[in-house]
A = this chain, B = another copy of it.
């Protein structure tokens, strides 16, 4: 199910729909690229989702794609799909700054591995999306490149760090987007914008050519308005030596759900989860049970607070190494707030970092073992909904997302309704990407899609 039903059928189509429209020659990739570019021109001034546009390059790619569709030689289901790329992922000829002023004028000389894959699949790259500075935060209130507003409420955060990607997808400014997710950066903005966000199994998409926040925890992920769109993007972006179905497992085919119960995280020990999030999760569980699923509430032996603390320490230390040269050459190109975050890594002694790595490795082994009997785990994506920039907490929203990064397991955020005009979201964490996406679709389909965004 699409999360937004736009009046323009090209926009409403999403990646999967465009593929069908191209195949039946109802629409050409050039028309689609033009529709998206025009929508960006009209709406992005207020949203702030993009930091770089390449209308010329996109149209050239769209023309080439149109020719392939015309002669029946489309490269993949993504051929002609207008997509956006998060600003920390290298796209040849585009700025490659990761939301950091110090790198504003740096131009990528080659595509990141995942971008090269998408290009080879025929995707049309519209531009780069805004992000939290250095990917290290969840508001996308970027001091150098501006705020990305939530399409559902101007002045509210779209989440982060891949806030621009999620907002662009939600607002219909691209058919899908790449993001990155170290401690939740794809799934948090998916939650806040009522879209789908998938963090794949660790290593499935190469992080080569992505500015590291933490090479230990970084994952490239995908944003879409439907699970199927995410699945196509994932199949297009995976490393060349991996094969994925691309077509997601149909809910009825979810073998895993016939063989094993589905775990639902017990939330009673987690104080910061908002009442409306708890209510939505109860509702999701009830609907899943109505469908005949065996839902079992599980008290997971995993310290969510410690995982985020360890994850932040590891990320701060590894980010400092990643940005070592730039910090020496141009420290003023990093905001005070970002420097303070990085200082968490500078202040810590080496054994504290070693302990953090070990804690996470041990916690992951224990959680994996505890989850072994289950087909998957369902939990909220974020403890709260999007907040206004003025009150949006930098910390706290990444409480429930690091679990999947630490375990290296695939996780899909999916919308489960609205509350006071803003989206609610749950995550499916599973053992393989196809099943996890399938679970998200199965459960997400029990909720009505949010109204479409009209700008």
Contact = CB atoms under 8 A, between A and B. Distances in A.
A351 B346 contact: yes
Copies in the complex: 2
Contact of A317 (B314, B345, B347, B350): B350
Interface stretch (A126-134, A185-193, A352-360): A352-360
A261 B54 CA distance: 50
Interface size on A, as a range, is: 20 to 34
A321 interface: yes
Contacts of A274: none
A434 interface: no
A253 B363 CA distance: 45
A115 to B, nearest CB: 21
Interface in A300-344: 313-314, 316-318, 320-321, 324
Contact of A351 (B215, B321, B351, B358): B321
A320 B348 CA distance: 14
Contact of A353 (B317, B324, B347, B358): B317
A341 to B, nearest CB: 13
Nearest to A355: B321
A206 to B, nearest CB: 13
A327 B346 CA distance: 24
A402 B301 CA distance: 37
A19 B348 CA distance: 54
A330 B83 CA distance: 60
A317 B317 CA distance: 14
Nearest to A344: B350
Contacts of A358: 215, 318, 321
B345 A350 contact: yes
A324 B358 CA distance: 13
Contacts of A316: 350
Which of A324, A346, A348, A349 has its CB near the most chain B CB atoms (within 10 A)?
A349
Given A215-B358, A321-B358, A349 B348 contact: yes
Contact of A320 (B324, B345, B347, B354): B354
Given A349-B346, A349-B348, A321 B354 contact: yes
A208 to B, nearest CB: 11
A358 B212 CA distance: 12
B345 A354 contact: yes
Given A346-B349, A349-B346, A349-B348, A317 B215 contact: no
A355 B317 CA distance: 9
A365 to B, nearest CB: 11
A348 B353 CA distance: 10
Nearest to A358: B321
Nearest to A359: B321
Interface of A: 215, 313-314, 316-318, 320-321, 324, 345-355, 358
Given A313-B350, A318-B358, 19 more contacts: A314-B354, A317-B350, A317-B351, A317-B353, A318-B354, A320-B350, A320-B351, A320-B354, A321-B355, A345-B349, A346-B349, A346-B351, A347-B349, A347-B350, A348-B349, A349-B350, A350-B350, A353-B353, A353-B354
